[in-house]
């Protein structure tokens, strides 16, 4: 593993840790909301919108790490039977398609964050600005793009040089 991959792993792992912490924070908020509602008869104000914003953090921050460790669902049953170069062709095609979609999503999130910032859109009860969360999602998607570029480059190297068995 070269220095670039070590840095990429470090960054994606830290972002996954943020996601895990956000899950715990979200659970604590929901439990507190339920307990307060049962004890006092009133929920914690703004719980729904905070959970909505934290859910965006939870879902987005783990994407880069999941892509880095290739934890996504794949058709390994079929592809694993092929030689390394053929597998690399499948990886290349999938990587390019995924990279295209992820770049498109990143661009859309940046545009949406800019629009939210420009118009000053906030949540309904607590008036929390929405744009920082959208920038966070865009950052996570951009990191995923970097991981996908690495995967595409690795697939090209395997296609050009061959796999472990020289196939």
For 76-115, the pLDDT digits (tens) are 677 778 888 888 998 899 999 999 999 999 999 999 999 9
> Is 113 domain-assigned?
yes
> Is 167 domain-assigned?
no
> Is 123 domain-assigned?
yes
What's the rounded Cα separation, in Å, for the pair 69 and 66?
Answer: 5
> Is 31 domain-assigned?
yes
> Is 141 domain-assigned?
yes
> Is 166 domain-assigned?
no
> Is 106 domain-assigned?
yes
- How many domains, in total, are found in the chain? 1
Which residue range forms the structural domain that includes residue 29?
Answer: 3-161
Reported pTM: 0.86
For 1-38, the pLDDT digits (tens) are 689 999 999 999 999 999 999 999 999 999 999 999 99
């Amino acid at each position: 593993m070269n220095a670039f991959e070590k840095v990429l792993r470090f960054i994606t792992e830290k972002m996954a840790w943020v996601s895990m912490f956000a899950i715990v924070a979200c659970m604590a908020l929901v439990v507190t909301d339920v307990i307060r509602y049962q004890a006092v008869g009133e929920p914690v104000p703004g719980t729904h919108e905070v959970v909505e914003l934290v859910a965006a953090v939870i879902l987005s921050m783990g994407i880069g790490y999941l892509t880095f460790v290739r934890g996504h669902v794949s058709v390994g049953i079929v592809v694993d039977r092929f030689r390394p170069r053929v597998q690399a062709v499948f990886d290349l095609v999938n990587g390019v398609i995924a990279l295209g979609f992820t770049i498109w999503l990143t661009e859309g999130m940046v545009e949406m964050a800019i629009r939210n910032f420009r118009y000053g859109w906030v949540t309904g009860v607590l008036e929390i600005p929405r744009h920082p969360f959208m920038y966070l999602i865009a950052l996570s998607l951009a990191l995923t793009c970097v991981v996908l570029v690495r995967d595409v480059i690795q697939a090209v190297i395997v296609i050009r040089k061959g796999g472990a068995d020289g196939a």
